[in-house]
């Protein structure tokens, strides 16, 4: 029997929600038979740099590395909250850092994987910030700041993001179909998997199908790929 491949995203791990961290650890314990696990962004609510000395960062890195040591391949992609994750954290976690977007082949399926924020092209304000935040020069400037100052900046950015999101229409916060089709056509795939929008579902597109992962809050969400079949699943988080 071929081992399954799992996909998760948008856990937004944070000290204020310890139950979600515990849910991740349980998820990892129950799926050590996997061939691979892909984490498609926003593992953390925010990430201030690989020199983060918080207990949460150490706990998550230890749990992920223990999981990878049991055999599954482990992959990590940047999200819009944790785009400063670097190779040092990935080494401590036993994970391989992926580009966004990236194409992979699993169970005879050619898949396009993305976090999903780049698909929300109607949100021009966010896209401008995304371009800045992905700039190596901007990131170097931020990472040169003292750790305490970076934490304060992350708190400010979260507040700004929450306020901006509350004032935007739902369609602006969702992906645009034209960008979805363009990305799928460019990659030469008929299946796209992403997170970010917190709207778990399967969508049929002109080019095939688009699977959206949900965020982890009251429930946890994951995709399972086995023998070429994709399933969207959820479970309660207590």
pLDDT digits (tens, 9 = 90+) for 170-194: 777 899 999 999 999 999 999 999 9
* Sequence-distant contacts of 124-133: CB under 8 A, at least 24 apart: 125/164, 126/80, 126/164, 130/80, 133/80, 133/83
Give all strands of the β-sheet with 102-106 in edge-to-edge order: 102-106, 109-113, 191-194, 208-212, 201-205
- Helix (H, G, I), strand (E, B), or coil: what is residue 225? strand
State the Cα angle at 11 between 10 and 15, rounded to 5°. 135
Q: What's the whole-number average pLDDT of the chain?
A: 95
Residues 216-223, mean pLDDT to the nearest whole number: 98
Strands 201-205 and 219-226: unpaired
Strands 5-8 and 219-226: antiparallel
pLDDT digits (tens, 9 = 90+) for 1-42: 589 999 999 999 999 999 999 999 999 999 999 999 999 999
Domain locations in the chain as residue ranges: 5-236
- pLDDT at 168 (0 to 100): 61
- pLDDT at 164 (0 to 100): 64
- pLDDT at 179 (0 to 100): 97
Position 169 pLDDT exceeds 80: no
User: Of 71, 85, 105, which Cα lies nearest the Cα of 39?
Assistant: 85
Percent of the chain with pLDDT over 90: 90
- pLDDT at 181 (0 to 100): 97
Distance CA 63, CA 162 (A): 29
User: 5-236, what's its fold?
Assistant: Purple Acid Phosphatase; chain A, domain 2 (3.60.21)
**Residue 167 pLDDT class (50, 70, 90 cuts):** low
Residues 62-72, mean pLDDT to the nearest whole number: 98
**Residue 165 pLDDT class (50, 70, 90 cuts):** low
pLDDT digits (tens, 9 = 90+) for 125-158: 999 999 999 999 999 999 999 999 999 999 898 8
167: exposed, middle or buried (C-beta count within 10 Å: 0-12, 13-18, 19+)? exposed
Distance CA 20, CA 45 (A): 11
- Helix (H, G, I), strand (E, B), or coil: what is residue 119? helix
**Residue 166 pLDDT class (50, 70, 90 cuts):** low
Sign, CA torsion 19/173/101/190? positive
Distance CA 24, CA 187 (A): 31
Beta bridge partners of 40: 77
Give all strands of the β-sheet with 219-226 in edge-to-edge order: 96-98, 73-77, 36-40, 5-8, 219-226, 229-236
């Amino acid at each position: 029997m071929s081992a399954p491949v799992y996909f998760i995203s948008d856990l937004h791990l944070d000290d204020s929600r310890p139950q979600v961290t515990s849910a991740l650890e349980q998820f990892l314990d129950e799926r050590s038979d996997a061939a691979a696990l892909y984490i498609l962004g926003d593992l953390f609510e925010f990430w201030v740099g690989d020199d983060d000395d918080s207990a949460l960062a150490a706990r998550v890195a230890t749990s992920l590395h223990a999981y990878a040591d049991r055999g599954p391949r482990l992959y990590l992609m940047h999200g819009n909250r944790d785009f400063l994750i670097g190779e040092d954290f990935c080494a401590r976690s036993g994970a391989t850092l992926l580009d966004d977007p990236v194409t992979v082949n699993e169970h005879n399926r050619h898949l396009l994987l993305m976090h999903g924020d780049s698909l929300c092209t109607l949100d021009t304000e966010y896209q401008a910030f995304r371009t800045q935040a992905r700039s190596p020069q901007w990131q170097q400037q931020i990472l040169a700041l003292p750790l305490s100052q970076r934490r304060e900046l992350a708190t400010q950015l979260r507040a700004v993001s929450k306020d901006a999101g509350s004032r935007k229409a739902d369609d602006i916060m969702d992906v645009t179909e034209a960008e979805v089709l363009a990305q799928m056509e460019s990659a030469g795939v008929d299946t796209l998997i992403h997170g970010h929008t917190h709207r778990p579902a399967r969508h049929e597109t002109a080019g095939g199908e688009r699977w959206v992962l949900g965020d982890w809050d009251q429930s946890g969400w994951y995709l399972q790929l086995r023998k070429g079949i994709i399933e969207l699943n959820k479970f309660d988080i207590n």
